[in-house]
């Protein structure tokens, strides 16, 4: 689809009207996806992430401003797997007739690979949607983003292919560094108890075990019996640390950590990029680097080895 606008050049003679390509309007949802699209599209796109930092993506309802963004979008990238149902409905009802809507999750894994767990029970039919925390899946997201951008905007297809190839190489290196660093942990250290149930695809990729999550899909507090069970399990298995959210503080997790005598770390992120826009770490790669460093520091690993592996990535 070639999108064009009229511009005027004043050359000391009657105005001449010429055609200039307008940037493609792309809407995304959570910040990691937004960053991936920007990495592939560069200056050829106008990208708008709809879910603000610190807002729960599962319950987010678009404001009138976000509805206007969707109405202008040529292409909408969703994570899918039922994460952004209100946004998808609005995109289909209020978007352009020609808008392309891509659900990356459904195109990355088959239903046989879906994870159902405490927060996302199979009986409700909504699988855990947090595929992007598995860097191997993120690489597939990038490939899909490139393909769909190129299909809609043929003019910049070569640019998208080049950017995607470079970015996928960076992600492959990151994936290898994470795999190597976490493999050095003892089995008893490769355990995650988190605030939100975001980590099953990460755990499956990198040999971790998810002990549980405090915030279920209903967002209700865990029962006293469940809290007691987790405390007993942490003591029995000698888990070094548990992980809260930097955005959503949890009194329950703090209590569990205190009763079990384990370290409570509150800086794990699943969809909030670190730092401010424009800073080096304000990216999907920066988020994953900080997450894995946090895990290694808390669980008794070797962050220096991980950092050394990433030095090569920093020079690319």
For the chain, which residues make up each domain, given as ranges?
4-174, 185-314
Burial category of 297 from C-beta neighbours within 10 Å (exposed 0-12, middle 13-18, buried 19 and up) = middle
Q: Residue 209 corresponds to which tokens in the numbers above? A: 């075990």
Chain position carrying tokens 């975001």: 198
> What's the confidence (pLDDT) of residue 249?
75
Chain position carrying tokens 């807002």: 55
What is the pairing mode between strands 191-196 and 209-215?
parallel
Taking only the tens place, the pLDDT of each residue in 243-297 is 988 777 788 888 999 999 999 999 899 999 999 998 989 999 999 999 999 999 9
Taking only the tens place, the pLDDT of each residue in 219-240 is 567 788 888 988 998 999 888 9
pLDDT of 9 strictly over 70? no
What are the beta bridge partners of residue 263? 241
pLDDT of 6 strictly over 50? no
Do 4-174 and 185-314 come out as alike in CATH topology? Answer: yes
**What is d(CA 78, CA 83) in angstroms, rounded to the nearest whole number?**
8
Domain 185-314 -> CATH class: alpha beta
Taking only the tens place, the pLDDT of each residue in 82-125 is 999 999 999 999 999 999 999 999 999 999 999 998 788 899 88
The backbone region for 69, taken as left when phi is positive above 0, alpha when psi lies in -120 to 50, beta otherwise, is alpha
Burial category of 266 from C-beta neighbours within 10 Å (exposed 0-12, middle 13-18, buried 19 and up) = middle
- To the question of domain 4-174 being in CATH 3.40.630.10, the answer is no
Residue 119 vs residues 221, 291, 304: alpha-carbon distances, Å: 12, 21, 34
Q: Residue 90 corresponds to which tokens in the numbers above? A: 């609005």
Element (H, E) at 112: none
In eight-state DSSP terms, residue 216 is -
**What is d(CA 61, CA 81) in angstroms, rounded to the nearest whole number?**
17
Taking only the tens place, the pLDDT of each residue in 127-176 is 999 999 999 999 999 999 999 999 999 999 999 999 999 999 999 999 99
pLDDT of 47 strictly over 80? yes
pTM of the model: 0.89
């Amino acid at each position: 689809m070639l999108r064009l606008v009229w511009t005027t050049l004043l050359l000391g003679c009657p105005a001449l009207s010429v055609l200039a390509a307008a940037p493609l309007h792309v809407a995304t949802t959570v910040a990691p996806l937004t960053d991936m699209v920007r990495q592939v599209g560069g200056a050829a796109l106008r990208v708008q992430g709809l879910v603000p930092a610190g807002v729960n993506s599962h319950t987010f309802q678009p404001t009138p401003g976000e509805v206007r963004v969707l109405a202008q979008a040529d292409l909408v990238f969703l994570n899918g797997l039922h994460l952004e149902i209100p946004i998808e409905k609005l995109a289909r009802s209020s978007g352009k007739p020609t808008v392309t809507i891509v659900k990356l999750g459904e195109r990355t894994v088959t239903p046989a690979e879906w994870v159902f767990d405490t927060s996302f029970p199979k009986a409700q039919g909504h699988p855990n949607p947090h595929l992007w925390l598995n860097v191997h899946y993120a690489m597939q997201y990038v490939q899909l983003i490139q393909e769909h951008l190129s299909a809609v905007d043929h003019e910049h297809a070569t640019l998208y292919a080049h950017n995607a190839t470079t970015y996928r190489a960076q992600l492959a290196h990151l994936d290898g560094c994470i795999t190597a660093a976490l493999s050095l942990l003892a089995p008893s250290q490769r355990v995650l108890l988190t605030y939100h149930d975001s980590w099953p695809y990460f755990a499956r990729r990198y040999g971790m075990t998810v002990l549980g999550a405090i915030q279920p899909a209903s967002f209700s507090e865990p029962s006293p019996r469940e809290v007691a069970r987790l405390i007993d399990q942490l003591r029995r298995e000698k888990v070094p640390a548990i992980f809260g959210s930097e955005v959503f503080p949890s009194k329950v997790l703090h209590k569990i950590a205190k009763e079990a005598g384990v370290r409570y770390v509150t800086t794990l992120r699943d969809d909030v990029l670190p730092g401010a826009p424009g800073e080096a770490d304000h990216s999907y790669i920066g988020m994953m680097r900080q997450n894995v460093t946090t895990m290694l520091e808390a669980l008794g690993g070797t962050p220096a080895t991980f950092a050394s592996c990433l030095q090569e990535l920093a020079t690319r």
